[in-house]
Amino acid sequence: MDMCEHHPDRPSVVTVTGETDSFGSEYLYFCEPCFQKHSSAVEKYYAIKRHCDRCSSFAILSCFSDPEDHGICSDICDRCRSKINEGYAEELAYYRSRDNEYYDL
């Protein structure tokens, strides 16, 4: 059993995926009180306007894991997220138009 990151005498009840990169993922183990603190800090972090990692606009951001960038998470604005999703939709439509059964979801 894994123990809490901050309280080695308490068992963890929640595992959170931390940093993920080409070397793998780091996991954070929390007891219930520590998880509540962590969740609150994450909510506060994403409620503040900051600069988008893609376009540098100043906005409320959300975390985006880009599969084309090996799943690395970036904090991006809604406009950039929409552009990325539109690009994926166009790519999927292209491959579907080629009558390839593999892409029929």
pLDDT digits (tens, 9 = 90+) for 19-66: 777 777 889 999 999 999 999 999 998 889 999 999 999 999 998 887
Question: 92 lies in which domain range?
Answer: 48-105
The rounded distance, in Å, linking the Cα atoms of 55 and 44 is 22
The rounded distance, in Å, linking the Cα atoms of 11 and 31 is 6
Residues 43 and 86 in one domain: no
- pTM comes to 0.61
The rounded distance, in Å, linking the Cα atoms of 89 and 39 is 32
Which residues are within 8 A (CB) of 14 and not within 5 positions of it... i.e. 6 or more apart? 29, 30, 32, 35
Residues 43 and 20 in one domain: yes
Query: Distance of alpha carbon 100 from its chain centroid, rounded?
Result: 30
pLDDT digits (tens, 9 = 90+) for 66-102: 777 777 788 999 999 999 999 989 988 888 787 666 6
Residues 6 and 57 in one domain: no
The rounded distance, in Å, linking the Cα atoms of 90 and 105 is 15
